[in-house]
Amino acid sequence: MEANTFQIVEGQYLRDILDQPRALSATLEQLEIPKELSELAARLRDGAVKRIVLTGIGASFHALHPLFLRLNQCGYTAIAVETSELVHSLDGWFEPQTLMIAVSQSGQSAESVRLIEENRGRASIVAVTNTADSPLALGANASILTMAGKESSVSCKTYVTALMALHLLGGFLCGADPARTREELAQTVPAVASYLRGWKDHVFEMAGEMGRVRHLFLLGRGVSLAASGAGALIIKESVRLHAEGMSSAAFRHGPLEMVNGETFAVVFAGAESTRPLQARLRDDIRQAGGKTGWIAENSSPGAWTLPQTPAGVRHMLEILPVQMMTLALAAQTGIEAGRFARIPKITTTE
């Protein structure tokens, strides 16, 4: 990759990526649990609420996966469903015994607007959004706001700030120490800044390692499925290449047969409990002739290495190497990174 190819990636999308430390810091500074949520949480603990429905679409939906796991591990009955399916196929869940946690960066997508319209005040809704005056925020019972600022196209800083807000919300609902939660979240800011300072080196390294790619997979387990899903989405959006984010277990049930010299698989090391399974899959892909990127804190220094953070917030950094991948792929293909040709930033059509 020639140095002059950076003109393809040095646009507003890159500026949004590099703005993530500021966005996280600004979000953490004003992040708080709204007083309305205390009443909803009391109803949840008393059993008046029998289900928590987590809903969003696109990157917002993927961002909910760590919260989905955490709430169920805490003993709640949490269900994750895309907003498009919720509003058209699951009308029975719009009732007083449901607490909905809805994530939408804009708060004004077609599905978010329909959610408020279809609910008609039946279920309680907690909104997590980057837009305070959006239909979702105004129609919800309580709102948690992020401070990502304006974003030009592909979700990057709105995604990581949503993860931050959802981690705070999960801690609140599960009874975690608020001071410890904030301390964990505060460590993500310098960690993200540290990784992004080397962005040019990361892009050069990845471009050299990936080579010609026909099949792209992002493979994770547990909370890493958030970055698997969101990462595949941003690759498709930013450089118009097909990528599939899926569980590592599902990859063994068929797609492993596709591996050849034009396959590149991003494997998220993830939690210590399942890391040996991830390492074995990585090795099997390499043995089959494919190439891999191993995203972990303890891998060799380079583009795939995450800075050290508490395990509970590691998932907030896992998307960073995938963002670098989009820049490397843009430089390789000659496509201006993050420039939409067919879709708007906010999807207002169902």
- Looking at residue 265, what DSSP letter applies? E
- Cα 89 to its chain centre, rounded Å, is 25
Name the band, by pLDDT with cuts 50, 70 and 90, for residue 332. Answer: confident
How many whole angstroms separate alpha carbon 101 and alpha carbon 51? Answer: 11
The predicted pLDDT at position 232 comes to: 97
Strand 291-295 to 263-268 pairing:
parallel
pLDDT digits (tens, 9 = 90+) for 259-274: 999 999 999 999 999 9
The predicted pLDDT at position 334 comes to: 79
Name the band, by pLDDT with cuts 50, 70 and 90, for residue 342. Answer: low
Tell me where in the chain the CATH 3.40.50.10490 domain(s) lie.
18-190, 195-333
Look over the chain and give the mean of its residue pLDDT values, rounded to a whole number.
Answer: 93
Share of the chain above pLDDT 90, in %: 82
Name the band, by pLDDT with cuts 50, 70 and 90, for residue 4. Answer: low
Share of the chain above pLDDT 70, in %: 95
* pLDDT for 139 beyond 80: yes
Name the band, by pLDDT with cuts 50, 70 and 90, for residue 333. Answer: confident
**Any idea what the Cα angle at residue 302 is, between residues 266 and 20, rounded to 5°?**
80
- Between 10 and 315, where is the model more confident? 315
Burial 170-185 (b: 16+ CB within 10 A, else e): bbbbeebeeeebeebb
pTM for this prediction: 0.95
Name the band, by pLDDT with cuts 50, 70 and 90, for residue 350. Answer: confident
The answer to whether residues 302 and 206 touch, using CB atoms and an 8 Å cutoff, is no
* pLDDT for 200 beyond 60: yes
Average pLDDT for 229-252: 95
Average pLDDT for 183-199: 97
* pLDDT for 3 beyond 70: no
The predicted pLDDT at position 217 comes to: 98
How many whole angstroms separate alpha carbon 126 and alpha carbon 35? Answer: 12
* pLDDT for 2 beyond 60: no
240, with CB counted inside 10 A (0-12, 13-18, 19+), is middle
Average pLDDT for 78-82: 98
Name the band, by pLDDT with cuts 50, 70 and 90, for residue 335. Answer: confident
168, with CB counted inside 10 A (0-12, 13-18, 19+), is buried
Least confident of 8-17, 82-91, 307-316, 320-329: 8-17
**Any idea what the Cα angle at residue 240 is, between residues 238 and 243, rounded to 5°?**
95
pLDDT digits (tens, 9 = 90+) for 145-182: 999 999 988 999 999 999 999 999 999 999 999 999 99
The CATH homologous superfamily to which domain 195-333 belongs is Glucose-6-phosphate isomerase like protein; domain 1 (3.40.50.10490)
* pLDDT for 10 beyond 80: no
**Nearest Cα to Cα of residue 21 among 230, 145, 132, 186:** 186
* pLDDT for 221 beyond 60: yes
The predicted pLDDT at position 345 comes to: 64
Give me the DSSP letters along 97-135: TEEEEEEESSS-SHHHHHHHHHHTTSSEEEEEES-TTSH
98 forms bridges with which residues in the sheet? 51
* Cα–Cα distance list, 96 to 41, 75, 292 (Å): 14, 20, 47
* pLDDT for 46 beyond 60: yes
CATH class of 18-190: alpha beta
Average pLDDT for 329-336: 83
Give me the DSSP letters along 296-329: BSSSPSSTTBPPP--GGGGGGTTHHHHHHHHHHH
pLDDT digits (tens, 9 = 90+) for 271-327: 999 999 999 999 999 999 999 999 999 767 789 999 999 999 999 999 999 999 999
Which residues of 167-317 form beta strands (DSSP E)?
A: 215-220, 243-247, 263-268, 291-295
